[in-house]
Amino acid sequence: MDAQQLKAFLDKKAAEYNRPLFIKTDPVQVPHRFSKKEDIEISGLFAALFAWGNRTTIINKANELMALLDDAPHQFVTQHKETDLKRLLHFKHRTFNATDLLYFIAFLNQHYLHHQSLEEAFTPPEGPLHVEAGLNYFHQYFFSFPDAPARTKKHVAAPYKGSTCKRLNMFLRWMVRDDACGVDFGIWKKFSPAQLILPIDLHVARVARRFGLLQRPAIDWKAAVELTQNLRAFNCQDPALYDFALFGLGAEERF
């Protein structure tokens, strides 16, 4: 199909998945349980970081963690006592364990003592604001505390390490994209949807290559940027909209 036909097809597929029904089977349902901005941020971050493997398991583990945080994650991370942390010691999701979780809680505690939103953790104090710089800054800032466990670094990706940053790009999509469809939240305003980088994994890359939207053989940060740049030709203001189409075609329809 030519470019015009491909755009029409992807727009149609995006519309099929970018609707409230999508929430019921996706990890984005976890932050949708909350209305307070900080709770959406914290629950969304964990749900996104847990998002590898079976989606039902991802959702269940994220909800299990929210229950451990009294279903009030912002209140827990800012007001917990030392004894409250004991309940977290047996939490585990794949290779994410209590050591990782306790550091996340400590980081979030310190961050929210000084900032009102987690958006600040992705906002470099100097230089131009774009997604690559924001993700690199988050990685640097997140591991800036002296007791940061080395093992936790495998759970937080960064462009400068060559990673696709699939899960964090998905989290940014949730926080930044703002439309009337009800899936993404659009509660962060420092980034624009035009700046977002598409979350890319094996499923998305396979579909993208089939459509000629991706030539790079490796699935890495450069591939995510290449795919996003090609999709900007279809929608320069909201390229991440096509995450719904490519994910749906790849993971749901096995296109």
pTM: 0.96
**Amino acid in the structure at residue 228:** T
- What radius of gyration, in Å, describes the C-alpha atoms of the chain? 18
* pLDDT tens per residue, range 53-98: 899 999 999 999 999 999 999 999 999 999 999 999 999 999 999 9
Decide: 126 and 163 in contact? Cβ < 8 Å. no
Residues in Cβ contact with 218 at an 8 Å cutoff, skipping those fewer than 6 apart: none
pLDDT in tens, 1-58: 799 999 999 999 999 999 999 999 999 999 999 999 999 999 999 999 999 889 999 9
Of 216, 224, 217, which is closest to residue 196 (Cα–Cα)?
224
Instruction: Give residue limits of the domains in the chain.
Output: 3-252
What's at 221, amino acid-wise? W
The answer to whether residues 202 and 220 touch, using CB atoms and an 8 Å cutoff, is no
Helices 202-210 and 221-232 pack at an angle, to 10 degrees, of 50
Give one word for 216, left, alpha or beta, with left for phi > 0 and alpha for psi -120 to 50. beta
pLDDT, tens digit (0-9, with 9 covering 90-100), for 140-195? 999 999 889 999 999 999 999 999 999 999 999 999 999 999 999 999 999 999 99
Q: How many CB atoms lie within 10 A of CB 172?
A: 28
